[in-house]
Amino acid sequence: MITLIKGFHDILPDDSPRWEFIVRTAAETLRRFGFREMTPPIMERTELFERGIGELTDIVEKEMYTFEDRNGESLTLRPEATAGMLRAVAEHSLLRKEPVLKVFTIGPMFRRERPSKGRFRQFFQVDAEVVGDDSPFTDAEVIAAAHAIMTNIGATGLMMEINSVGCPECRARYRVVLQDFLRAYLTELCDDCRRRYERNPLRALDCKVARCEEIARDAPLILDHLDESCRSHFQAVQDALRMLGIPYRIEPRMVRGLDYYTRTAFEIVHEELGRSKAVGGGGRYDSLLKELGGPDVGGIGFAIGLERLSMGLSDDDPRFTRSIDVYVAALGDRAQPEAFRILDLLRKAGIAADTRYSTKSLKAHLKVADRFRATRVVMLGDNELERNEATIRDMNTKEQFTVRIENIVAFLQGAES
């Protein structure tokens, strides 16, 4: 038997209603905030992610699925959606038509990281971006949109953790201060942090190696090195979040795992899943679009992992149990052609209907109808055929009705209304 690739997962039929609910709710929520959907490809040129995410990040160095095609061009399965979406914004000059663009996409991403509960090598994200605006109100609105998705799905115990990672000028000054601090610990840092010490020392603050985490706890904070513009921007974001009643706390050592962030950065923590269970996050990127060949305008976005999100929903939630409107029970071979025709009429009328042609006895049919959580059963046997009638049972009240076959659709539509 050929088995699943490690780190990948099947979305099985019992999981699909929950999955569909999450996707639908996320899309509906974002549309209420003015976002429109776009669908970039899952594969891009490798240089897009090297330039956009940063060469000295774990994603680019260790986690990307990269290969050469037959022409020798290096291609990569997308590890995140922002770079591809902004590539499309630049390539198609979308900001000429709409100077402030709000877009989202939902789909698979690929990273070869260590699989764990809720973390896979093919995983799904909802990703939303606002491009062409640098207002702190936009930052707060994007955070509010992420919070609204979680709330509308039914998640509780939410906390938005926020920080400012400053502008390039702030970070240049902070980088010197951080390097001065880390220099005393160079022999204790992991190989990756030592290698990145010169070009990207901020990665040490995001390292998950235990000793590096210990050292990072005493590191100087970037919040203490913001210039007045970045400081006032961050304060305005906080004021706006309080205005909206969005719960948040400042996490001063958060830098996120991508190099393109500027100023506001945030993570969505589902506290009922544990402190380490961030289900998503995002931040502002004021130079990324220009770096990818577009105009020099800022943007902000976020991504939420659907697998992590689904972990916050109960397996017993009745919204995700299988159900149909009508089950048609054909009792005997003579009834099957008529049952087949009735099923077609019901489906064309917008009524979810099903049967099992191999099932023969009424008892067995009713067991299947119960398993399908059908609200009504249309029973059709030899006697009913002779009278051109069907017996319809309400599975909740157990009442039964005799209905002429040509009136079944109208009867069931009336019962549903």
- The DSSP result for 94-124, as a single string, is HHHH-SSEEEEEEEEEE-----BTTB-SEEE
Reduce the DSSP state of residue 323 to 3 states and report it: coil
CATH 3.30.930.10, the chain: domain bounds: 16-167+227-310
When mean pLDDT is compared over 10-19, 252-261, 274-283, 299-308, the highest value belongs to: 299-308
Under the banding of pLDDT at 50, 70 and 90, the label for residue 208 is confident
User: Per-residue confidence at 355, pLDDT binned at 50, 70, 90?
Assistant: very high
The C-alpha atoms of residue 175 and residue 184 are separated, in whole angstroms, by 15
At residue 155 the predicted structure's pLDDT band, cuts being 50, 70 and 90, is confident
Architecture of domain 16-167+227-310: 2-Layer Sandwich (3.30)
pLDDT at position 51 is 82
Reduced to 3 states (helix: H, G, I; strand: E, B; else coil), residue 264 is strand
Q: Give the residue from 216, 208, 224 showing the smallest Cα distance to 185.
A: 216
Mean pLDDT to the nearest integer, 33-39: 97
Phi-psi map region of 7: left, alpha, beta (phi>0 left; psi -120 to 50 alpha): left
Tell me: pLDDT of 207 over 90: no
Asked if 115 contacts 8 with a C-beta cutoff of 8 angstroms, the reply is no
β-bridge partners, 368: none
The residue among 101, 162, 170, 165 whose CA lies nearest residue 133 is 101
Report the pLDDT value the prediction gives residue 257, as an integer from 0 to 100: 58
State both tokens at 78: 């997308």
pLDDT at residue 57, as a whole number: 62
Q: What is the DSSP string of 112-159?
A: ----BTTB-SEEEEEEEEEES---HHHHHHHHHHHHHHHHHHT--SEE
- Short-list 77, 68, 53, CA closest to 5: 77
Q: What is the CATH number of domain 322-416?
A: 3.40.50.800
The ranges of the chain annotated as CATH 3.40.50.800 are 322-416
79 pLDDT band, cuts 50/70/90, is: very high
Q: Reply yes or no on whether the pLDDT at 275 is more than 50.
A: no
Q: What pLDDT, on the 0 to 100 scale, is given for residue 56?
A: 53
- HSE-CB at 75 with a 13 A cutoff on CA atoms is 11
206 DSSP assignment = G
User: CA-CA distance, 40 to 415, in Å (whole number)?
Assistant: 44
CA distance 13 to 404: 35
Strands ordered across the beta sheet of 65-68: 43-45, 74-77, 65-68
How confident is the model over 359-390, as pLDDT tens digits? 889 999 999 999 888 999 999 988 888 899 99
Through-space distance between the first and last CA atoms of the chain, rounded to whole angstroms: 49
Judged by DSSP in three states, 246 sits in coil
Question: What is this structure's pTM?
Answer: 0.85
Cβ atoms < 10 Å from Cβ of 392: 20
Read off the tokens for 361: 């006895």
pLDDT reading at 417 higher than 80: no
State how far the alpha carbon of 87 is from the alpha carbons of 92, 93, 113, 327, in Å. Answer: 8, 10, 25, 49
